[in-house]
Amino acid sequence: MNRTKVAVIGSGNIGTDLMIKVLRLSDTLEMAAMVGIDPASDGLARAARLGVPTTADGVRGLIAMPDFAEIEIVFDATSARAHLANAEALAPHGKRLVDLTPAAIGPFVVPAVNLDAHLDADNVNMVTCGGQATIPIVAAISRVVPVPYAEIVASIASKSAGPGTRANIDEFTETTGAAITAVGGAERGRAIIVLNPAEPPLIMRDTVLALIDDPARRAGDALRESIRAMVESVAAYVPGYRLKQDIQITPVPRDAPVGTLVGDRPVTHQVSVFLEVEGAAHYLPAYAGNLDIMTSAALRVAEEIASAQELTR
């Protein structure tokens, strides 16, 4: 199968790690351009050393590149605001966009949950690092029992959060919360991100708390089996993804602050799942699992899009 040519917009941490993954890991994709706006960025310098064509003129520079017409898939690893402009500029050119920002123009995609659902979309959104880590667990719970409410907390090392991540904190919480319901299947969702300044930097940790109604306590074994199977599915493309502790299913006290109702839905138990994500250290150190899960998920989706396109030719 001929390799599908791709471009990466964004020469920061995420874009550079993604470029390296394409070069090292993919038998389906071929790096055709690395795009930035800072001529002195390490990402552009590294791309040039690796023989990848570069431009420091942003999306306009990409469009002006001699081989632009041959590029079929464009990854956007910039910011939510920048992606709005990039998507508009690329729209007339028929490119498929894989959006690693929280802009959420296109449908949400979490590979372990709905990889095949939006392969024909012009612009797919990879939610957020916290979403990629936790939404599969919410989905694993909701396929066993209804989930009136789910809350996730993503804790990442401050050193792994570049300017793009820091500029998108509000969008992170909004986009992740929306995807908890749209993809994870919870009726209501909430997301929290913590930038941990600890030294030495700590590995990415994620907590999923889901409220369910299981008065007879019959769903416990099925829930644990579903969650463990989902962890294995994510680990197939993010090898450092794993359970940190045993899955906990505990009764909700009737006088708990959450009460025994979410909206008008009764809840009897809380499911607590604790995860960690160790990065592959392709660009940043292993503590940056938040970087690795985003780029690994985006790579998986782009490869599937490329394979689907090849079958239709």
Task: Confirm whether residue 11 is marked as ligand binding.
Answer: yes
Instruction: Return the closest-CA partner of residue 276 out of 207, 209, 205.
Output: 205
Task: Confirm whether residue 36 is marked as ligand binding.
Answer: no
Beta bridge partners of 55: 35
Q: Which residue type is seen at 202?
A: L
Task: Confirm whether residue 163 is marked as ligand binding.
Answer: yes
Place of tokens 């959006």: 99
Using a 10 angstrom Cβ sphere, with 0-12 exposed, 13-18 middle and 19 or more buried, the burial of residue 313 is exposed
Query: What tokens does 281 get?
Result: 């250290």
Task: Confirm whether residue 123 is marked as ligand binding.
Answer: no
Task: Confirm whether residue 227 is marked as ligand binding.
Answer: no
Cis peptide before 200 (omega within 30 of 0): yes
Task: Confirm whether residue 41 is marked as ligand binding.
Answer: no
Task: Confirm whether residue 166 is marked as ligand binding.
Answer: yes
Q: At a CB cut-off of 8 Å and minimum separation 6, what does 277 contact?
A: 133, 203, 204, 206, 238, 240, 241, 242, 289, 290, 292, 293
Residue 129 bears catalytic tag: yes
Task: Confirm whether residue 167 is marked as ligand binding.
Answer: yes
List the helix and strand counts (H, then E) for the chain. Answer: 10, 14
Radius of gyration from C-alpha coordinates of the chain: 20
Task: Confirm whether residue 162 is marked as ligand binding.
Answer: yes
Beta bridge partners of 207: 153, 274
Which of 32, 65, 110, 129 is catalytic? The answer is 129
Task: Confirm whether residue 220 is marked as ligand binding.
Answer: no
Instruction: Return the closest-CA partner of residue 7 out of 126, 95, 101.
Output: 95
Residues placed in the known binding site: 11-14, 160-168, 290
Residues annotated as part of the active site: 129
Residues placed in the known binding site for NAD(+): 11-14, 160-168, 290
